[in-house]
Structure 1
């Protein structure tokens, strides 16, 4: 696959275009917990959203579970209006977005980061704080994308073709407002997570031949993989945990959670349709499931003709995502007690 094709695929992933399908595996009722204890306290509720929107989705929740950010689409007679949604508890604020924008992370102070597009068609990241959306500084490139923010306000992401033919890891340091710096990271690096102590994780390498890595606060870079593993992708990190996928040969792969303290790993339940987030306790979400240890459980709220998708999980266990009833709109939801 050529680099331009790769860049388009990664850009589409980063922006999560609302015009595309939000489909995930159709869920059933919640399964029993180990020892036969049912998930009696696990509940799903709909977040408030503008009634005149065609679809709305909750993309990210902060570590405390207080702040949530998402997207919505308002269909007009001539043009569609894309919206950013910001929740504080049950209160929602809507902000009109230029084109298709998507929140990708949020910290405990309610600062949201996300990706959008400049008028030139180049990826342009943004930050929402104090009730305002502001563009982040960028370097000359064919596209800049952010991926994660920690509680200190440090942001990481990557740029394409800052160095010709390569991706370059980037950091927006909170200690130096208004600046962006090239990260000392492996060649062709794409950072995907940053923890509160400044540990950064990501992947690097040509398309389909990625290597997982972790950059310590002192600048040391170590590999993130498993014995005998091949290509490795890293989806994100929180606390001492990172999550990702390792290919074991051919099309066979396994989802794993690494302990960043020592590089040890746990194989996750392969019933998980994928991995979208991990919290500081090592609990993961993906598709219609939440996973602890090497087991996972189906979240409630799905069923025949109803799709649900978990996007993000807080340290308190609050999960946010979407619910899609056949022939009806997509709605933002929150799970608690799961």
Structure 2
């Protein structure tokens, strides 16, 4: 999964904890990370519309069948936003002014994302080839993830303060949304197949992670000594995030949601974007299994690559930036 632009999750965490009611997970210290090569890894450029300024793949469903992304065409009379959906490699292009952010896609090929309209952030869903808005709180909202059941999570915006609050659009009650009972300023980042939700809470620079289980129980996702914690994504029983241990020590972490235990990820990962149900993690130009990371092929002089999401099959999707030209790509066999 991939997950939406998580507004407050781009900066380094510095201070804060959840309420005392939330538990703290512990785990032993980890050994130094190792780097491997990805000799079997194959890069393929996905088909994309002609004449676009940029195109990229942002999400892949757990089976690897559906890939979702976006493209932008620049015109004198106004830009065109396109939603891109690949089904077993076959591209469907849908023009929509809301297709500014593509957050996730599930095994039914349902895509969710967000875009701006009338000065507010608006969540949307793509079903049966058509983009439709999700019901929106007065201040606007953004969708971040969808699971196989069709439940969608994201963040609403308080129209008076601009503060975020957690929202779920339940598949069982189409046309409705509900505000979840979570710590203040909670923003969901991911939802797993059984309805477990993860995210980050707290005021700016005082963030910590949390997990909400299907029975409504909420626990902390953090590590001992962490000043702040940011959670980026979840799949299966895994979640990933970054913790600030102070003195510039930023550590990438993977939690096992079955008991909230944690382990350290490879330091070489430049950032974290997604995890699959096997616990394999992608971020930047790398893929990692625990403390071992591999460089994804395709980069080089004046050329960069970035992984956005990973399927349970190991298929990775993202972009290739060739001197400013973004194209959608897929890696297999990594």
Relative contact order higher in (CA < 8 Å, ≥ 6 apart): 2
In structure 2, runs of 5+ residues without a counterpart are 11-33
Q: Which residue of 1 aligns with 2:233?
A: 236
Report the alpha carbon displacement of residue 78 of structure 1 after superposing the two structures with TM: 3.1
- Change in Cα spacing, 1:149 to 1:330, as seen in structure 2 (3 Å) is same
Shift of 1:166: 3.3
RMSD: 2.0
Partner SS state of residue 85, structure 1: strand
Give the conservation status (yes or no) of the 8 Å contact 1:191–1:201.
yes
The equivalent of 2:254 in structure 1 is 257
Q: 1:296 maps to which residue?
A: 293
Provide the rounded CA distance (Å) in 2 between the counterparts of 1:54 and 1:148: 26
Q: Is contact 1:190–1:202 with CA below 8 Å preserved after alignment?
A: yes
**Aligned residues between the structures:** 307
Q: 1:317 aligned to 314, 318, 322, which one?
A: 314
Q: Distance in 2 between matches of 1:291 and 1:51?
A: 34
Q: Helix, strand or coil: the match of 1:255?
A: strand
Residue 163 of structure 1 and its aligned partner are, at CA, apart by 7.5
Shift of residue 291, structure 1, vs aligned partner: 0.4
User: Does the CA contact (< 8 Å) of 2:94 and 2:129 recur in 1?
Assistant: no
- Counterpart-to-counterpart distance in 1, 2:178 and 2:97: 26
| 8 Å CA contact retained: 2:164, 2:187 | yes
Which aligned segments of 4 or more residues in structure 1 are displaced greater than 6 angstroms?
A: none
Structure 2 counterparts to residues 112-151 of structure 1, below 5 A: 112-118=111-117, 120-141=118-139, 143-151=140-148
Distance 2:6 2:196 in 1: 27
Cα distance between partner residues in 1 of 2:231 and 2:205: 13
Deviation digits for residues 50-73 of structure 1, max 9, x if unmatched? 121121101111100010111111
Deviation at 1:228, TM superposition (A): 1.0
Matches within 5 A, 1:80-91: 80-91=79-90
Higher share in helix? 1
- Cα drift, residue 170 of structure 1: 0.5
Whether the aligned pair in 2 keeps the contact of 1:166 and 1:187 (CA below 8 Å) is: no
Aligned to 1:107: 106
What is the Cα deviation at residue 9 of structure 1? 8.4
Deviation at 1:296, TM superposition (A): 0.6
Question: Aligned partners of 1:107 and 1:135: how far apart in 2?
Answer: 17
Q: Give, in angstroms, the shift of residue 187 of structure 1.
A: 1.4
Q: Is the alpha carbon distance of 1:170 and 1:336 closer, same or farther for their aligned partners in structure 2, counting shifts above 3 Å?
A: same
Does structure 1 retain, via aligned residues, the 8 Å contact 2:103–2:144?
yes
In structure 2, do the counterparts of structure 1 residues 269 and 12 end up closer, same or farther at CA, with 3 Å as the change threshold? closer
- 1:139-167 deviation line (CA, Å, top 9, x unaligned): 111x3111111100001111111674632
Does the 8 Å contact 2:70/2:99 carry over to 1?
A: no
- In structure 2, the residue matched to 1:17 is none
Q: Decide which of 301, 326, 330 is 1:330's aligned counterpart.
A: 326
1:166 — aligned with what?
Answer: 163
Decide whether the 8 Å contact of 2:317 with 2:331 is kept in 1.
yes
Q: Secondary structure at the match of 2:320?
A: strand
Match for residue 225 of structure 1? 222
Query: What's the counterpart of residue 92 of structure 2?
Result: 93
The match for 1:285 is 282
2:80 and 2:44 map into 1 onto residues whose CA distance is 26
Alignment of 1:200-219 (within 5 A): 200-219=197-216
